[in-house]
């Protein structure tokens, strides 16, 4: 399900800041060489993530789900001076490409790419984060939320991707597949969490913006 038409999306992209040459090339190369390229955030969502990050000016960003590094580069654009992005992915096959593009984007020295299962890695991270992007396996969204919550500064933000799951969240429960079940459970968990303010935006596949208030 597309939430807006191709034409409207194009109009939105044409009226947003253009992708940098590095992001444009990474976008193109991911579509040419990597499996499941639709996982990449893309132009409009990428500019949104960059804008939010620029507003927050985070000292520490955590990303769960690096893939080829597109969203990581966008998020890093808002880092405070001496800030750092830590990004985790279970798939080591994309690491070379991600490192190359982090280097091309000039964020090699302010990034750490960790290869492994985020469910095992997050408990061992000792920093606090001002901005956390959840964009990995849908099964673990609720687990990630619980694991990262105490590592998020009060006043910090979590952004979770794909929370409309192509509109499947509207289906009757008997028609849910496993991913839909996990996303619906995650959305309920976030919505009933009184420690947060939140807004669910119908951008691309749905972005949940969550602010920790206590
Ligand atoms: C949707 S893609 C991320 C897209 C990327 N954030 C972007 O916008 O360009 C999801 C990524 O999560 C990774 N992933 C899946 N399960 C994971 C896990 N348990 N721990 C860490 N990464 C995982 C996959 O290997 C995949 O690269």
Q: Give tens-digit pLDDT for 101-135.
A: 999 999 999 999 999 999 999 999 999 999 999 99
Number of domains the chain contains: 1
CATH number of the structural domain spanning residue 72: 3.40.50.150
Paired residues of 199 in beta bridges: 209
Q: Can you tell me the distance from the alpha carbon of 24 to that of 14, in angstroms, rounded to the nearest whole number?
A: 14
Separation of 205 CA from ligand 1 center, angstroms?
15
Ligand 1 geometric centre to CA of 95 (Å): 12
Q: Identify the residue whose C-alpha is closest to ligand 1 atom 19.
A: 117
Tens digits of per-residue pLDDT, 22-81? 999 999 999 999 999 999 999 999 999 999 999 999 999 999 999 999 999 999 999 999
Query: The domain containing residue 199 runs over which residues?
Result: 6-212
Substitution site in 77, 90, 160 for ligand 1 pocket (most atoms within 8 Å of beta carbon): 90
pLDDT level of residue 2 (50, 70, 90 thresholds):
confident
Say what the pTM is. Answer: 0.98
Position 21 in a domain:
yes
For the chain, where are the alpha helices, taking DSSP H only?
6-14, 21-33, 42-56, 70-76, 95-104, 118-121, 141-149, 178-191
Mean predicted confidence (pLDDT) in 165-172: 96
The answer to whether residues 170 and 180 touch, using CB atoms and an 8 Å cutoff, is no
Domain-embedded: residue 82: yes
Structural contact between residues 97 and 121, judged by C-beta atoms closer than 8 angstroms? no
What is the CA(66)–ligand 1 centre distance, in A?
5
Residue 191: per-residue pLDDT? 98
The predicted-structure confidence for 142-160, as pLDDT tens digits, reads as follows 999 999 999 999 999 999 9
Ligand 1 centroid to 175 CA: how many Å? 25
Mean pLDDT, residues 10-32: 97
Q: Is residue 201 part of a domain?
A: yes
In a domain, 133, yes or no: yes
- Quickly state the pLDDT bin for 179 (edges 50, 70, 90): very high
The pLDDT, as a whole number, for residue 13 is: 97
Cα–ligand 1 centroid distance for 101 (angstroms): 17
Q: Is residue 13 part of a domain?
A: yes
- Give the position, in ligand 1's atom list, of the atom nearest the Cα of 118: 20
Residue 91 Cα: closest atom of ligand 1: 25
Q: For residue 1, is it within any domain?
A: no
User: Which tokens go with 43?
Assistant: 């132009």
pLDDT at residue 1 in the model: 59
Give residue ranges with CB within 6 A of ligand 1.
39-41, 65, 67, 70-71, 88-91, 117-119, 135-137, 140
Q: How far is the CA of 87 from the centre of ligand 1 (A)?
A: 10
**Beta carbons of 212 and 198 less than 8 angstroms apart:** no
Residue 122 covered by a domain: yes
Which atom in ligand 1 lies closest to the alpha carbon of residue 68? Answer: 9
Residue 15 lies in a domain: yes
Residue nearest (by alpha carbon) to ligand 1 atom 18: 117
């Amino acid at each position: 399900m597309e939430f807006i038409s191709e034409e409207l999306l194009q109009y939105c992209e044409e009226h947003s800041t253009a992708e940098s040459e590095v992001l444009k090339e990474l976008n193109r190369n991911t579509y040419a060489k990597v499996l499941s390229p639709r996982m990449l955030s893309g132009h409009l969502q990428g500019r949104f993530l960059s804008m939010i990050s620029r507003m927050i000016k985070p000292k520490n960003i955590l990303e769960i789900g690096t893939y080829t590094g597109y969203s990581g580069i966008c998020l890093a654009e808002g880092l405070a001076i001496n800030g750092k992005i830590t990004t985790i992915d279970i798939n080591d096959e994309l690491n070379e490409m991600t490192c190359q593009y982090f280097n091309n984007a000039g964020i090699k020295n302010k990034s750490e790419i960790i290869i492994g299962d985020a469910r095992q890695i997050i408990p061992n991270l000792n920093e606090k984060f001002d901005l956390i992007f959840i964009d990995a396996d849908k099964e673990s969204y609720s687990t990630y939320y619980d694991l990262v919550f105490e590592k998020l500064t009060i006043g910090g933000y979590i952004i979770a991707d794909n929370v409309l799951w192509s509109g499947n969240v509207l289906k009757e429960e008997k028609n849910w597949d496993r991913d839909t079940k996990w996303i619906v459970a995650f959305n309920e968990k976030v919505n009933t969490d009184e420690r947060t303010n939140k807004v669910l935006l119908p951008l691309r596949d749905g972005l949940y913006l969550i602010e920790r208030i206590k």
